[in-house]
Amino acid sequence: GEEPLGSRFATLEEFLEASRGRIRLSIELKYYGFDPRLAERVVALVRRVDMAGEVSVISLESSGLSQTQRLAPEIRLGYVVSARLGDVTRLEVDFLSVGKGQFDARLRARAAARGLDVAVWTTNRKDEMLRLMARGADDLVTDDPALAREAVREFGELSDVELILLRLHEAVLR
């Protein structure tokens, strides 16, 4: 018989099915030597389960993102910024995914000017999540989604005065 899901690694298809209608799943294309069929196989699977509108594809490799764009223009694309090499906001993507140490007011402003969202990784403390949202993070990448939901709820309940004070505090610290 089929072994229980908890006793083995889930397949991408199982992750897609489990996330359907619940979360936007980001699928990272990781290349260890460029595989020209990786994006093609991921797009085919996403389309087979009819979830192109519920996922995004992210990668450090702009060639993988370009290939995904050609194959499935309806899938949101995100560039994983590992190092600052020029103005990353000029890339043809829908959002940037940056480490929390790379996220600053200048990047936020440039991304906003180009209509790009910014996802910030990896944050697993509520106080840090609140500070990142105060700085303008659009999405949080975390190992603790329940804590992130709690932080987002708390952030949404802050009064205008509390938001101003939090943002002022963050601006002074940065």
Question: What does pLDDT average to in each consecutive run of 10 residues of the chain (174 residues)?
Answer: 70 93 91 88 97 96 94 96 82 94 91 96 96 94 93 94 86 71
Q: In angstroms, rounded to a whole number, what is the distance separating the alpha carbons of residues 119 and 139?
A: 4
Please report the sign of the dihedral spanned by the C-alpha atoms of residue 122, residue 101, residue 139, residue 11. Answer: negative
Over its C-alpha atoms, the chain yields an Rg (Å, rounded) of 18
Beta strands of 31-112 (E only): which ranges?
55-59, 76-81, 95-99
pLDDT of residue 6: 65
Q: Quick one: which of 138, 111, 103, 141 has its CA closest to 124?
A: 141
Task: For the chain, report the end-to-end CA distance as a whole number of angstroms.
Answer: 56
Q: What is the C-alpha separation between 106 and 171, in angstroms, rounded?
A: 12
User: What is the pLDDT at residue 156?
Assistant: 94
C-alpha of 15 from chain center: 16
Q: How far apart are CA 79 and CA 82, in angstroms?
A: 9
User: Residue 86 has what pLDDT?
Assistant: 78
Residue 20 identity (one-letter amino acid): R
- DSSP bridge pairs for 139: 119
Please tell me the distance from the alpha carbon of residue 13 to that of residue 94, in angstroms, as a whole number: 24
Joined together, the tokens standing for residue 129 give 């999540």
pLDDT score recorded for residue 36: 82
